[in-house]
Amino acid sequence: MRILLSLAALLLLATFAPLRLYRDPPVPDEARLWFDPVALDAPIGGLAFLGGWALRSNDRRFGGISAIHVEDGEVLALSDRGVLLGFDLPLRQGARIRIRPLREVPGNPEDKRDRDTEAMAVRGDSIWVAFERRNSVWRYDRGTLRRAGSAAPEPMRDWFSNSGPEAMARLGGDRFLVVSERSRRGARFSEAVLFEGDPTRSSTRLAQIAIRRPQDYRVTDAARLPDGRILLLHRRFSYFEGVSAKLTSLDEKDLKPGGFASVSEVAHFPASLKLDNFEGLSVTREDGRTILWIATDDNFNAVQRTLLLKFALDD
């Protein structure tokens, strides 16, 4: 009986401990990247499909992508376990992946709830990261990943702990927009905060805004277009239909303190495409065209995929 009780205790520990604690899993000598092409036959309104890839790696820390930034031939991705992933474009089979966990986080670095990073903005030597369950924004030095600033802005403190800051975009004039996944206002709204400067500085002026979004779709990322419009990526999950997504836009001038901003649909990704969990969005320019990069979150689940999709926006 004592042996059976000991085995039961070990089983419970093995079952529930990983849900709370984060440990760097065993890693190979070098993290490598492999991929398979992904086709997209159905037209997506407002977008031209340029290519897609299902990514995989020999390093177990690869996956769970919640935000991406594409610039100068590099993809910088952020996982929802507080890990930065970097790899080069164009993709090459067996290419090296740069994997760097964040060592400084708001709380216990071994508790996954304190490492739940869902949004990112990048400029020069700085990386801004939003922590969902902590409703805070931290700024890191891009080279050392040391904390350079942090704040838990008052308007974000009552956001739902598991549906807090999900999207962040750097706007014109060094302003920032941070958007929650959902709102206490109901299924058609997301709470947002517009920062007039660095969101990690307590002296930065800010304003609360509500964004009216598609019914039952939650915001997962945001990016600014060269013309000043803001793109929002939305995801919807249904047990009967699966995962679908929408891409919408709003005008930066519609972000008025205390007001409501409505979005316009740019593209719809129906569940029939089976493109998984849309989480990351980045905008670049290429040969005079506006390019959108979209990444999916595999939730570290063997039946889901990490996809990187490339589109041209019909200007």
pLDDT in tens, 178-225: 999 877 766 688 999 999 999 999 999 999 999 999 988 999 999 999
Return the pLDDT at 189. 86
pLDDT for 43 beyond 90 = no
Q: Is 250 in contact with 261 (CB distance < 8 Å)?
A: yes
pLDDT for 26 beyond 80 = no
- Which residues touch 4 (CB under 8 Å, ≥6 apart)? none
Share of the chain above pLDDT 70, in %: 90
Return the pLDDT at 186. 66
Return the pLDDT at 28. 79
Q: Model's pTM, two decimal places?
A: 0.89
Per residue in 108-157, pLDDT (tens digit) is 999 988 999 999 999 999 999 999 999 999 999 999 999 999 999 999 99
Per-residue b or e along 114-129, where b marks 16 or more CB atoms closer than 10 Å to that residue's CB: bbbbbbbbbeeebbbb
